[in-house]
Structure 1
């Protein structure tokens, strides 16, 4: 049987009764759109992140970013500073508002935004700084917050990969003016379909979000206050997320246990020219959305592992600034050297909290065999 980077079926077998009960509860409620389940999840997800937070559920993580940008006042002619070493939706969301993404490079050790490069990228058109909490680890928000305050900018966190991650004790999503989350099934907190949310402590931003996700309407049906979207979180997904939110800390503990087994099983393969394992920055709590390793012979390793029935992913093989869909931004090869170097070396090992130890051991054994044979 082929081993993949992610598989939801082991978790589903454990949680099937609760998941199906959630579906039945919604279908029997008589309210299928923006009912008690969405309201309950919004309240509970906000409460998980501390007092004073407000949550607006939306239909997916991409629209969470897009609507958050719009709620923060971003539009045509504006610039948003972010990274190219991210999933394409981060950049798609910026472009869809009419704004221009401005890329800075990442750091080689943790793959996160290089905060030392940000201030030089600020112009009079810059509106928002958009760091990505990548792979389950928070970016350094303190210098970004300081830059934002100096230049009158907003700070929007991309938390799609960092549910429950902490930075010096603060949860991802509580360090900016707003934060966007995805609940795509693979996420640390994943639904059984698409879903997203925006978290903020600002009442005006929250009010704008609620209008934007519902055609631009405010309370009174068919009265549009500002042109918006149809981006509502589904009731069924919200009820499933309510149940899974109570297990989020357990999911994180499970992911960390998988990460520790990888570290123990692969530690002696590291060193100059060898396998490079993930690092956790001081003050950070990693939630390991994905377990990304590096090797200069990445492509040979992935090909060799296919003979062992192990299919691995690359997060991400093509930096956004190299994609044809973003060619109009004008970046060329060599523009972001660290990002481009990483794209040729990184790959992801299987990572999910219900990953059976026997399956993980098979991956470790096969990887050790392949790497030592290089």
Structure 2
């Protein structure tokens, strides 16, 4: 069942504009909007919340048009990246603030605060003030303040942006747990793709005020719609060439007179995408059913944690990703002669006019 329906929403704020934004969010879904800084993600969230009114388009909840409804009438919770806690109020008072605004009885507020604080694992913080809390603790308080109002949708604006990598990983697990327990519909914006795989049921990719692709995380990651999505998601190889049909396959003439084969795709000018982890590196031709096996020379090794990015000149730069152990076993070094092998099905073809 679709809970939120955004249809052809456009909004101009100063020099920036949203253009024809359309997407649906299912009830109980964790929906992530991903894009670079300045793509317009926060403006989309604030328009859903009612802070901005669209110049064009409609926003509906369960079939009810809420495009022009006041923010307080929408029952939408918002958690910003700076958390916006009241410094002069205790954690207990911060969490219960919205219920006090609704004139709820004091005892009922206390019960609701204790229940919500327990869900977030912060009952021991109730008497403290925000300035004494860590970033992760402040985030939990901000989430509790939003969740206690039982919003029909929870909007999260870069909720982990201020956290270090270790804390971000813990908070991803916490958000997944809270979503599983509450079943609240969540829309989160982020520029970290790790958030998508950890949390999202579906993802929308934004660029320059527009949504360029919507789908399940694996679908978007393995089949980017255009070169912006491929580059933004950090897909290791974008190979320009000219494609022509070769029987049931697509043959792509790339730089250096090298041809690669794809399982499917359009003919003409294309960009072929290939994930670095799909490239097998060997010192001799690799015996497999893979249709692509290219000889080349290692030009660069770039360590990254437990893996090493290998750049191979095969007529054009081709990137592979190996573990440190594999590099040692293969004795990979600059100027090493190697073979790069990958399946035709691993090559995704994007028409150049699909930019």
TM range, smaller chain: under 0.3
Q: Which has the higher helix share?
A: 1
For CA contacts below 8 A with separation 6 or more, give which structure has more relative contact order.
1
- TM-score, normalisation: structure 1: 0.25
Q: Which has the higher strand share?
A: 2
